């Protein structure tokens, strides 16, 4: 991310709020300075001015000290080359490595992830959110978390992150034993008669394809017929007979569930399902076909396009979660959320899957994830890092200045009172 890259709307809003709070803290310090001068001027006219002087003097000291401390984090105070100032821009790369190491040690280890997830009912929490994503007390937190997620996703290098995701997906596909899975799916579909609509669709498609290519078939029959057959006109009758027979066969297969051809097709499907599960030769063929598909450049382009669509969809959903969870898609998610809330067995299954998946991801890709975070922050220029961090925490740091000014003033009053007592 370069300095020229514009800030997002959320980041710009954070910067504006931090800037307003900084002006308020500076204004309070100016007020204390004016109060100090006023108290010095009227010091002898009334004993109360001594208390005002003590308060304003100590408040200025506390405010100036905290101003220096806060400013030194992000830049050099008054532009002076004071040692150990401009801490964040001067130590950007070290901060990136420290962040990555902290993330790896405290969050992205299998033991930590497993321990934190063991007592969490992720399925029920997801179900509660999906069933009612706009529940009042959670809306602000949800929008804030969504905005933070969007900023993080947008700031990470899309090529590196995409490469990480695609590498993980390709690795899982390569490890997948596809033949038994396909065999089990086909067996279950045949047992439940779910293959029949597909079979009928294939028969209808075959009939329409035959009809669309009837001139081509007639031409092929004419070309392969002998000259004597063509001279007698029997080639046309032969073509009509073949086409009529095919149309009749397909029509009978469609309307008659007990047609012998259907039986042969189903026998073939059952044999294929058994071979996929039990035959090592068939399993090897499927594995080779799978690897050939994964090695095909078209597959790589498809994965690239799928990642770009997924990333764009995640960004849209994070920027506008209300619209992302509306309509038919939102209604379907709400039904899923209700099921997750009510069904204990489904919760157990989803929680177990989530734990295994997250622990596996952390175990295999933890180092790559933290390296991605570290390299992304290192590529940012110092000004961008400073603006980002100052926008995120600058408003709270200005409260330190305000508190330092007020607390310093109170300490000054206390010391003045102790001085009078002694």
Contacts of residue 305, defined as CB under 8 A and 6 or more positions apart, other chains included, come to none
Domain boundary among 223, 247, 278: 278
- Mean pLDDT of successive 10-residue segments in the chain (422 residues)? 51 76 90 92 88 92 90 83 81 80 78 77 74 55 53 60 69 77 81 78 83 79 61 67 81 81 82 85 85 80 77 68 56 70 79 78 76 76 74 79 90 89 79
Q: Flag whether 337 is in a domain.
A: yes
Give the domain extent around 265: 178-278
Residue 312 lies in a domain: no
pTM over 0.85: no
pLDDT for position 212: 82
Written as six digits, the tokens of 249 are 């066969």
Same domain, 65 and 2: yes
Last residue of a domain, one of 243, 278, 313: 278
**Residues 129 and 192 reside in one and the same domain:** no
Phi, psi of 292 (to 5 degrees): -65, -40
The label of the residue with tokens 């209300």 reads 322
258 and 377 together in one domain? no
3-state helix, strand, coil in the chain (%, to 5): 85, 0, 15
Q: Are residues 262 and 330 in the same domain?
A: no
pLDDT score for 137: 47
- What is the model's pLDDT at position 420? 85
> Which pair of tokens denotes residue 21?
């709070």
Residue 408 inside a domain? The answer is yes
Q: Is 294 part of a structural domain of the chain?
A: no
- What counts of helices (H) and strands (E) characterise the chain? 20, 0
- The confidence score (pLDDT) of residue 1 equals 42
35 in helix, strand or coil?
A: helix
Query: CA 395, CA 25: separation in Å to the nearest integer?
Result: 10
Residues 122 and 217 reside in one and the same domain:
no
Q: Are residues 362 and 237 in the same domain?
A: no
Q: Tally the domains of the chain.
A: 2
Of the residues 248, 278, 308, the one at which a domain ends: 278
Claim to verify: residue 4 and residue 103 sit in the same structural domain: yes
Domain membership of residue 315 (yes or no) is no
φ, ψ at 5 (rounded to 5°): -70, 130
**Within this chain, do residues 339 and 274 fall inside the same structural domain, yes or no?**
no
Neighbours of 411 (CB within 10 A): 16
Radius of gyration of the chain (CA): 36
Structure tokens at 144: 């804030």
Are 116 and 232 contained in the same domain? no
Torsion of CA 18, 22, 25, 26, to 10 degrees: -170
For 381, how many CA atoms within 13 A lie in the half-sphere containing its CB? 7
Residue 297 lies in a domain: no
Same domain, residue pair 266 and 341: no
40 contacts 399 by C-beta, under 8 angstroms:
no
Based on the domain organization, do 125 and 218 belong to the same domain? Answer: no
Q: What is the pLDDT of residue 56?
A: 92
Task: Looking at the structure, tell me whether residues 248 and 351 fall in a common domain.
Answer: no
In a domain, 252, yes or no: yes
Is residue 51 within 8 Å of 416, Cβ to Cβ?
A: yes
Contacts of 79 by beta carbon, 8 Å cutoff, 6+ apart? none
User: How crowded is residue 17: how many other Cβ atoms within 10 Å of its Cβ?
Assistant: 14
> Is 339 within a domain?
yes
What pLDDT is recorded for position 36? 92
């Amino acid at each position: 991310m370069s300095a020229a890259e514009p800030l997002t709307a959320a980041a710009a809003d954070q910067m504006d709020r931090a800037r307003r709070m900084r002006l308020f803290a500076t204004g309070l310090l100016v007020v204390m300075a004016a109060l100090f001068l006023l108290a010095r001027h009227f010091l002898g006219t009334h004993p109360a001015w001594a208390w005002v002087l003590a308060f304003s003097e100590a408040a200025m000291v506390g405010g100036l000290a905290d101003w220096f401390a806060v400013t030194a984090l992000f830049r050099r105070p008054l532009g002076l080359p004071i040692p150990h100032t401009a801490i964040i821009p001067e130590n950007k790369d070290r901060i990136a490595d420290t962040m990555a190491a902290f993330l790896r040690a405290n969050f992205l280890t299998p033991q930590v992830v497993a321990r934190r997830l063991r007592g969490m009912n992720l399925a029920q929490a997801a179900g509660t959110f999906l069933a009612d994503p706009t529940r009042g007390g959670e809306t602000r937190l949800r929008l804030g978390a969504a905005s933070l997620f969007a900023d993080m996703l947008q700031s990470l290098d899309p090529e590196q992150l995409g490469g990480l995701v695609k590498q993980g997906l390709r690795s899982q596909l390569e490890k997948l034993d596809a033949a038994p899975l396909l065999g089990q799916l086909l067996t279950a579909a045949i047992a439940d008669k779910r293959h029949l609509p597909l079979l009928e669709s294939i028969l209808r498609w075959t009939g329409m394809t035959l009809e669309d290519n009837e001139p081509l078939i007639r031409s092929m029959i004419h070309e392969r017929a002998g000259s004597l057959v063509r001279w007698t006109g029997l080639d046309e009758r032969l073509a009509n007979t073949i086409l009529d027979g095919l149309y009749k066969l397909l029509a009978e297969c469609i309307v008659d569930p007990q047609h012998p051809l259907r039986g042969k097709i189903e026998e073939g499907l059952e044999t294929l399902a058994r071979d996929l599960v039990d035959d090592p030769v068939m399993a090897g063929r499927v594995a080779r076909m799978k690897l050939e598909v994964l090695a095909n450049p078209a597959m790589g382009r498809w994965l690239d396009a799928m990642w770009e669509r997924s990333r764009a969809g995640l960004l849209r959903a994070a920027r506008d979660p209300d619209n992302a969870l509306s309509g038919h898609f939102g209604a379907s998610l709400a039904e899923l959320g209700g099921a997750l809330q009510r069904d204990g067995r489904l919760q157990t299954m989803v929680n177990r899957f989530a734990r295994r998946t997250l622990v596996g991801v952390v175990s295999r890709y933890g180092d790559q994830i933290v390296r991605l975070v570290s390299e992304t922050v290192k590529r940012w220029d110092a000004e961008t890092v400073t603006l980002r961090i100052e926008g995120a925490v600058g408003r709270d740091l200005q409260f330190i200045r305000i508190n330092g000014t007020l607390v310093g003033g109170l300490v000054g009053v206390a010391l003045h009172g102790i001085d009078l007592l002694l």
